[in-house]
Amino acid sequence: MNGGPVARLDNMTKKNGAAGPQGNKRGNNLVVPGDDLGDSEGFEAGHGVLEMSGRLKALKQGRLREKGRLISIEPVHTRYIPRPGDLVIGFIEGCTNNLWFIELGAPFNAILPMSLGPGKVDFGGTRSVMDIGDAVLCRVQEVEETHSSVVTMKGMGLRKIRSGVVEEIDPHLLGKIIGKGGETLRRMKAETECRIVVADNGRMWIDGELDGILDVRNRLSEISRDSRGGRN
């Protein structure tokens, strides 16, 4: 998952003069909940890290990341949690007269209001434009504190998906698929002659010739199999 400096509940410790992990767990990359990450003096608590009485503490199991003064944990395995700006692929799960409910693989469904939908939609006509079960490429516009989110389809390339297939993969494997600077993904696109859109919620839209799609699928399942020794 890519993470900009988004206001998230878990880095709202707000005592920033922080500083970090001195010694102990720093060299060892993997941490588990409860691990002491050292003195908080001069460091900032990021995702999955809590600052408590002058010490930093791990809240999640995962890899420790240091970006300047920011100490965060990249979970090894986790559910997708929407963040504003994420490109996502969702499935329509319900409609009312003026909005769609979109399933993103997150704990809660997102809503897509008519005003942010594709083109012009008449009141009551939501279902004739995009029906239940349709896949859409959209962007997360807003996430409330209660985890309800709003997605939008206004923007470059955002659309209803009419061709190709949507594949699902664990969000934490996305980095592996994309590679350094997008290298692995670029190679996969070139070799399979497919159009591939990787969304932040762990879904991928693959479009192209049937052989190419099958090829991509095989590669994906190989990547899944390699991580965690056969899990997923």
Partner 1 sequence: MGGYGEVQMIDENGIRADGRGPGDIRPITIETGVVPVADGSCRMTWGTNEAIVAVYGPMEAHPRKIQRQDRAVLDVAYNMAPFSTTDRMRPGFNRRSREVSKVTQDALESVVLLELYPRSKIRISIEIVSAEAGTRCVGLTAASVALADAGIPMMDLVVSVASGKINDVVVCDLNKEEDNYGEADLPMGIMPNSGELVFLQMDGDLSQDEFKQAWEYNMDAAQEIHKLMVEALNGGDTQ
Which residues lie near partner 1 (CB under 8 A)?
A: 9-10, 30-36, 48, 50, 57, 59-62, 75-79, 107-109, 145-147, 226-229, 231-232
Nearer to partner 1 by Cβ, of 45 and 135: the residue is 45
Strand order in the sheet with 195-198: 165-168, 203-207, 195-198
Structure tokens at 29: 């990359």
Nearer to partner 1 by Cβ, of 22 and 159: the residue is 22
Nearer to partner 1 by Cβ, of 76 and 165: the residue is 76
Give the three-class secondary structure for 145. coil
Contact of 202 with 105, CB cutoff 8 Å = yes
Give the three-class secondary structure for 19. coil
CB of 112 to partner 1, least distance (A): 17
Return the number of other C-beta atoms located less than 10 Å from residue 218's C-beta: 11
Nearer to partner 1 by Cβ, of 18 and 59: the residue is 59
| Cα angle 219, 220, 224; round to 5 | 120
Question: Which residue matches tokens 């995009």?
Answer: 130
CB of 196 to partner 1, least distance (A): 23
